[in-house]
Chain A
């Protein structure tokens, strides 16, 4: 990758957040003509991605572009700094956003959904907020864009506007706003009171604070981990299964592009830049949370096995997979952090594929329960093959990208001397095989219900191409990323330069 726009990285950083907002008004203006509106969406998405890539290149070259917009109070400002972890998240979010937009257009047209203009306008704000989170230079900026992301995705989650959607939306908003204001905000202010700053500094700002003794660091870390509700660490997860009432493009956006990724990105960022990996590993305050993350991985997988609704099953799978990242952060060593950061990328591609396949099945056959999907493999072979590739990546089978993070996490667990986590990770992978591959096996192997002659080959009836191509695109992405993991790890290495 040697692509870069000929502008300064600082400007690229600001414009990458600004372009979606301009797109917002563009979408509003062209609400009457869908083609022009969707042209604006895709153009905006591509320009944003190009700008983010420019920033990414600069960060890879060792630059740390930084912009301060304004200061509210001394020490409290809105500022942005691009660093490897944020640049990685930004590239994933803005890159997958293009795919997601293409898919959303196919899906929304295929299902003839209402209020499409509002739908895309909310998307534009959400992606801008996600980039704001990625480039946040301090906790206040992070918090602000975190809330914007929650609020802008709420209309998306409740898009269907029926009672079920409203009930789901209430839980979505209630948990995310509740935890962020109730736990995250006090944690931020507490950090500010102890250190006098909220800036993200490599190596952490809390390690030297005088008040960090006794139970204080454990409580503070707990406030952060549970306060970032988007990371869906159990028991703060119910918003995620409830949000599946949304149309599938939104689910893909929540699970792969921006929302949950913003959460786990926040967990990693705070572990590295607020607490500092060295401090976390030396103080031993993470033990409790290692257990919680491990339990979250297993319990969520167990719940996923009981779900018949494919999207609900995928949602619980996400809860489980996100805890891998929290686990990586809490391992607090080089391999753990690398494992967590690469899991953000690996899981994004894999889960995106799975959700787009689930949506494609819904669009083509209007089926959302796994028990109804028996035999659909024969009429939708392309969709289900993409599904299998995505599932293998989530499980962690080579040669899919998802295998590397698991490998790093296992090494990290061994490195730390916590062998029980190794067992947790292995059991979880086995459970993944059961609950992710079972639907695909049944789709291909089971007889079509009600069909009198099982030998008859059903007509191929795939989803619209705009739904299918994005799914294959990300499925291929998981394969390609497997072979390019080394440069990615190299890119992330400044994060862990000082840790063991």
Chain B
């Protein structure tokens, strides 16, 4: 058995098996060390996979040797490989970060379960991306979601509101999953298959009420999972009250994976020939634009910094939807680039928020007063990642906004390009507003005289934060490799959408 042949399946299997082993291990340090090692191994595997896919375009792996219509086949295209690498990379930085943060925020007795749940969630996210089977997407989506509900609820020690947040998330997430599975059922009824490529072939030319309803259910279900405005109700509270490490991980991976699933369904399953697609694209443009502006506006008036960033995430999802809705190679590659860059910036921002929470036990704006003097490194990282979020040149955020605006100018759309561009920059300006508020507190306001002294912050929190911030700058300075990959990935994806299963 050649290990290289098994690459597509390893990133899913390694964390899944490791999670089960993790529960059996002693709690605390050892459970943490195990999870960390697993995340790094998985990261290494995904890097190898990325290299393999970038050479071969698409890698197909049949589970247990059973070929497509009968067995479940894994199908990893370039964008999938990018997203998997991203998820594994974020995990590899979140686990080292989690040690001290978890020790502070989660009861010792639960820490073993915590790491096991994180690994299950990790495996689920990997599975959603890797699989080429529509029903399998549902299964992995639920694996990751169920573990996420538990993870969010573990924030209850710091703030009891985590329980209601987790419950809301559970209800809405389940509704989303149900919609998704109803949609799959309708498609199965219409076509008799669940393999994505088979679905695509059999759906070609079909346009009836069953398929349309299936499409609508799937888009709505996935829309809930990726927090498409106005289906975002669950996200702000879940992100705000979850433990810091969980928020970092979820904010930079969970919605991204759902966006990828949406891309897969739109372009590889339904494709452009599907008549109903124009309605969906128009919906994405309108909801994306509204979400970008409304969620950013709400973010400006939040006094809880973590919640502010959570609303910002809803707004950022708008950018991704917008890129998808252009339905051009430029648009999709801009969306993929933003998926990647947004993960980097939100990881850095939420890590900084976690450090402040570690130090002062609060994410209220008042905890940030005078932070520029009291914790210059953390404040500096927050600002750099914040600038990236705004889209200042030489940060990752600039690259994706630039690509998105460029795509908007070169696409022919239902809404005038110039208007879209103005909405994009208006949303960036709103980001200036909310990041500016925190910056103002950190650098221009003097620390309160009775403020608690700054405790010693462990390096295991600061190093991942610093590295994530550095990644934002690095992508901003040397974006050519990454945008090239995203573009190639978008081309592969769009070709599938235009023709039949990758064959013209």
Contacts and interface: CB of A to CB of B under 8 A. Distances in A.
A173 B418 CA distance: 25
Nearest to A185: B425
Interface stretch (B157-165, B453-461, B477-485): B477-485
A74 B479 CA distance: 10
B421 interface: yes
A186 interface: yes
A181 B405 CA distance: 12
Interface stretch (B6-14, B62-70, B262-270, B392-400): B392-400
Interface string A166-186: 100000010001100111011
A70 interface: yes
**Chain B interface size range:** 20 to 34
Contacts of B394: 72, 144
Contact of B409 (A144, A155, A185, A193): A193
Nearest to A145: B393
A73 B394 CA distance: 11
Interface of B: 390-394, 399, 402, 405-406, 409-410, 418, 421-422, 425-426, 428-429, 432, 436, 444, 476-480, 483
Contacts of B444: 155, 158, 161, 166
B393 A144 contact: yes
Given A158-B444, A182-B422, A185-B425, A190 B409 contact: yes
Contacts of A74: 480
B405 to A, nearest CB: 5
The 8 closest A-B pairs by CB, nearest first: A193-B409, A189-B405, A144-B393, A186-B421, A182-B425, A193-B406, A181-B425, A73-B479
B290 to A, nearest CB: 19
A181 B421 contact: no
Given A73-B479, A177-B432, A182-B422, A189 B392 contact: no
Contacts of A177: 429, 432
A72 B429 contact: no
20 contacts: A70-B477, A70-B478, A72-B393, A72-B394, A72-B399, A72-B476, A72-B477, A72-B479, A73-B399, A73-B480, A74-B480, A155-B444, A177-B429, A181-B390, A182-B426, A182-B429, A186-B405, A186-B421, A189-B421, A193-B409
A430 interface: no
Contacts, number: 63
Given A181-B428, A182-B429, A189-B409, A73 B483 contact: yes
A181 B432 contact: yes
Contacts of B432: 177-178, 181
A147 B406 contact: no
Contacts of A161: 444
A140 B405 contact: no
Nearest to A74: B480
A193 B410 contact: yes
A71 interface: yes
B210 to A, nearest CB: 41
Contacts of B428: 181
A213 B449 CA distance: 61
Nearest to B424: A186
A140 B418 CA distance: 20
B476 A186 contact: no
